[in-house]
Chain A
Amino acid sequence: MQMTAVEKEAQTSAAAGSSNREIFLPPERQRIKDGGTPHVSAKNFSIFYGNFEAVKKVTADILSKYVTAIIGPSGCGKSTFLRAINRMNDLIPSCYATGTLMFDGEDIYGRYTDEVQLRKKIGMVFQKPNPFPKPIFDNIAYGPRLHGVKDKKTLEEIVEKSLRKAALWDEVKDRLDRNALGLSGGQQQRLCVARTLAVEPDILLLDEPTSALDPKATAKIEDLIEELRGSYTILIVTHNMQQASRVSDYTMFYYEGDLIEYAPTKQLFTNPRDQVTEDYITGRFS
């Protein structure tokens, strides 16, 4: 459903300026128009590791409630950009950012932004499943407890709801008190998604969520993204171009720190505007 809407949008985008909002793209690159509202907008946003500019002056809007994929060869800055959105890069001492990155009208790197609050609103799932070495229940309940939910009943509801959303409830409902490390890799990753959903974020950042999983588990995660589409703004970094084309509405292509192309997925994969994009998606380099 959503996909077709985006497709239509993509077809009409070149023609008319009827849409209410334009998406910022690198200079001299194509512009696309969409009815969505920007959820995260970057303006001349750069990230440095010491002197190395990993993400170079990116200007782009990430649209609310859409799935946006970020693709590009290794070391192109896609993960760095993703991790900048919930300030996970703060863990790296030499890392700093310039330009602006706004989230719901708030400057993510602003002086008065509270990163703890920010990360509650912008959840993240990592490349390698990283459940806490604790029972499944406590894994999910950790976030809500952190944010002040103490009532056992409410916690149980949240755990069930989150696990259901992550399509894991039926598999684990009888063993919520078991250690999460006993789950399979795919289950662990869905548990991580559920853990993130439990704190009710607005945005879900997925950093190569399926790269450590087998095809079957990958399919489950992709189904899960399909389920969540429309209720969350989802950003997914992936090495797998098929996956990007399967699950996303929009795709960003990064190359050596530059945002080369940002377009509706269908358009980017069938009719890329940029030669580098075409070379990459056709597999001429990786």
Chain B
Amino acid sequence: MNNSSTMNGSRKAGRTIDIVNRGLKSRYRKEKRFRLYGILSIVASAAFLAFLLTSIVMNGYSAFLQTYIKLDVPIEAGMIDESNPKRSNFQGIIKSAIREYYPDVTERREKRELYSLFSSGAAYQLRNNVLDNPPEAGTTLSLWVLADDDVDMLMKGHMKRDVPESERRLNDRQLRWIEKLENDGRIEKRFNTTFFTSGDSREPELAGIWGAVRGSFYTMLVTLALSFPIGIAAAVYLEEFAPKNLATDFIEVNINNLAAVPSIVFGLLGLAVFLNFFGMPRSTPLVGGIVLMLMTLPTIIIASRAALKAVPPSIREAALGVGSSKLQVVSSHVLPLALPGMLTGTIIGMAQALGETAPLLMIGMVAFIVDVPGGFTDPAAVMPVQIYLWADSPERAFVEKTSAAIMVLLGFLIAMNALAVVMRKKFERRW
């Protein structure tokens, strides 16, 4: 106290407590201001996030429903090829069923317009149906078949009926035919299972995310299987065993730099090394996974090293003190304690890899692939690339598909991050 009053010298400050009291108000004001800034920035980021999510959901939710049309398909003798039902002309059967429902449509051009209300997938639906339980001749199959994407857009309100004919993709005649279906209760929106069960397609109503989900799954599996063990082994060696010298410093600097390298560079590397030099198959989850592994490794190594550093030295000393070897210290004490942090780092790295597009474009995963991949060496798309492809497509119906695919991708990311949180909580130990 004496000290501070002498320090204030000529001012009639007096006791320290007075100085403290005088400054108190402005200190509290400062703190209040600081808190306000914090709240404002949180509100701002929350608002952006909410805006982003709402716009995606608003755009995309309608993709989970799809317009179906009820079609009565009379099966007459000779329509189905008895010896080889697969070879039957299902397209023709569908067309005749349509003509039967609209008996007054006779002109060739009108017929074509009429057929275009139905998806080209309708024939496949009929085919599957017939192959599953072969109908007898003379019966009538009642099928809910897919409507064309233009009809779908109309039903979902993305296409207006009251605008001039030239400004919409369906003409007045087609609208009248649809109205007839509506009046008969033969057209309705149902849950879009196609979206979740099929691969990509040029026809929006036939396009699905499942192929991309499977592709992402295989790719992530490769990435995880490679990057987790390699990353952890590298981190443990560098942190616990490596001598501290110039070489290890150099490696450390490089790992930190690699984490900041643009991901497309990894794609170029993958193209040059894995595809061109090693001749691995193009567009496959195997190569995609390896490229993403290269990209993920620095993240995992850095996070794992931080987790290892956070293990208190007292635990190591205790284990060494009772005669553990270095490896025993690491395997039975340090590693279990660092594991939650390592897992968190790995899952964050995997989530990053799951959302990565650029390096995969370089190794050909941007190809249009209809088949759902069945393994690591089948050509495949991944979710972010699928989103990119759909976003690039001109059809109006792909807009909602794009948003829906983003929702699926976000769902996976949220699930992965939730897993990271759960794992951290589960394995976390305090000392």
Partner of B321 from A93, A124, A147 at Cβ < 8 Å: A124
Judge whether B314 is part of the interface by a CB distance below 8 angstroms.
yes
Q: Do B314 and A123 touch across chains, with their CB atoms under 8 A apart? A: no
Partner of A133 from B313, B322, B430 at Cβ < 8 Å: B430
Question: What's the minimum C-beta distance from A155 to chain B, rounded to whole angstroms?
Answer: 14
Interface of B is mostly: helix
A195 to B321, CA, bound (A): 10
Partner of A126 from B318, B323, B333 at Cβ < 8 Å: B318
Partner of A120 from B315, B322, B337 at Cβ < 8 Å: B322
Q: Do B315 and A132 touch across chains, with their CB atoms under 8 A apart? A: yes
Q: Mark A68-91, 1 if CB is under 8 A from B, else 0.
A: 000000000000000000101001
Number of B interface residues in the complex (CB < 8 A): 23
Judge whether B320 is part of the interface by a CB distance below 8 angstroms.
yes
A117 to B320, CA, bound (A): 10
Q: Mark B191-226, 1 if CB is under 8 A from A, else 0.
A: 000000000000000000000000000000000000
A196 to B332, CA, bound (A): 17
Question: What's the minimum C-beta distance from B245 to chain A, rounded to whole angstroms?
Answer: 9
Closest to B332 in A: A142
Question: What's the minimum C-beta distance from A162 to chain B, rounded to whole angstroms?
Answer: 11
Q: Do B324 and A116 touch across chains, with their CB atoms under 8 A apart? A: yes
Q: Do A195 and B322 touch across chains, with their CB atoms under 8 A apart? A: yes
The answer to whether residues A133 and B429 also contact, given A120-B323, A126-B318 and a CB cut-off of 8 A, is yes
Closest to B243 in A: A93
Q: Do A126 and B321 touch across chains, with their CB atoms under 8 A apart? A: yes
Question: What's the minimum C-beta distance from B208 to chain A, rounded to whole angstroms?
Answer: 48
Judge whether B29 is part of the interface by a CB distance below 8 angstroms.
no
Question: What's the minimum C-beta distance from B237 to chain A, rounded to whole angstroms?
Answer: 16
Specify which of B312, B320, B325 lies most central, judged by the most chain A CB atoms within 10 Å of its CB. Answer: B320
B292-348 at interface with A (beta carbon < 8 Å): 312-325, 328, 332-333, 337
The answer to whether residues A146 and B323 also contact, given A132-B333, A181-B431 and a CB cut-off of 8 A, is yes
Q: Do B316 and A116 touch across chains, with their CB atoms under 8 A apart? A: no
A130 to B243, CA, bound (A): 26
A180-220 at interface with B (beta carbon < 8 Å): 181, 192, 195-196, 198-199
Q: Do A130 and B315 touch across chains, with their CB atoms under 8 A apart? A: yes
Question: What's the minimum C-beta distance from B336 to chain A, rounded to whole angstroms?
Answer: 9
Q: Do A91 and B317 touch across chains, with their CB atoms under 8 A apart? A: yes
Q: Do A199 and B323 touch across chains, with their CB atoms under 8 A apart? A: yes
Judge whether A131 is part of the interface by a CB distance below 8 angstroms.
yes
- With a CB–CB cut-off of 8 A, which chain A residues contact B316? 91
Q: Do B314 and A126 touch across chains, with their CB atoms under 8 A apart? A: yes
A93 to B243, CA, bound (A): 8
The answer to whether residues A147 and B323 also contact, given A133-B337, A133-B429 and a CB cut-off of 8 A, is yes
Q: Do A130 and B314 touch across chains, with their CB atoms under 8 A apart? A: yes
Question: What's the minimum C-beta distance from A152 to chain B, rounded to whole angstroms?
Answer: 18
Closest to A127 in B: B314
Partner of B323 from A119, A130, A132, A181 at Cβ < 8 Å: A119
The answer to whether residues A88 and B318 also contact, given A93-B244, A133-B429, A181-B430 and a CB cut-off of 8 A, is no
- With a CB–CB cut-off of 8 A, which chain B residues contact A142? 319, 322, 332
Partner of A88 from B321, B325, B431 at Cβ < 8 Å: B321
Closest to B326 in A: A116
Q: Do B430 and A117 touch across chains, with their CB atoms under 8 A apart? A: no
Q: Mark A12-45, 1 if CB is under 8 A from B, else 0.
A: 0000000000000000000000000000000000
Q: Mark B116-151, 1 if CB is under 8 A from A, else 0.
A: 000000000000000000000000000000000000
The answer to whether residues A119 and B430 also contact, given A93-B244, A128-B314, A130-B314 and a CB cut-off of 8 A, is no
The answer to whether residues A119 and B333 also contact, given A130-B314, A130-B315, A133-B431 and a CB cut-off of 8 A, is no
Judge whether A143 is part of the interface by a CB distance below 8 angstroms.
yes
Question: What's the minimum C-beta distance from B247 to chain A, rounded to whole angstroms?
Answer: 14
Question: What's the minimum C-beta distance from B359 to chain A, rounded to whole angstroms?
Answer: 38
Question: What's the minimum C-beta distance from A236 to chain B, rounded to whole angstroms?
Answer: 15
A130 to B430, CA, bound (A): 12
The answer to whether residues A130 and B317 also contact, given A93-B244, A181-B430, A181-B431 and a CB cut-off of 8 A, is yes
A85-129 at interface with B (beta carbon < 8 Å): 86, 88, 91, 93, 116-117, 119-120, 123-126, 128
Interface positions of A (Cβ within 8 A of B)? 86, 88, 91, 93, 116-117, 119-120, 123-126, 128, 130-133, 142-143, 146-147, 181, 192, 195-196, 198-199
14 contacts between A and B (CB under 8 A): A93-B244, A116-B323, A120-B322, A126-B318, A128-B314, A130-B312, A130-B315, A130-B318, A132-B319, A133-B430, A133-B431, A142-B319, A146-B323, A181-B430
Q: A120-B322, A146-B328 are in contact. List 16 more A-B contacts (CB 8 A).
A: A91-B313, A91-B316, A91-B317, A120-B323, A124-B317, A124-B321, A125-B321, A126-B317, A131-B318, A132-B318, A133-B430, A142-B319, A146-B323, A181-B430, A192-B318, A198-B322
Which 7 A-B pairs give the minimum distances between C-beta atoms? A120-B323, A143-B322, A130-B314, A124-B321, A130-B318, A133-B429, A119-B323
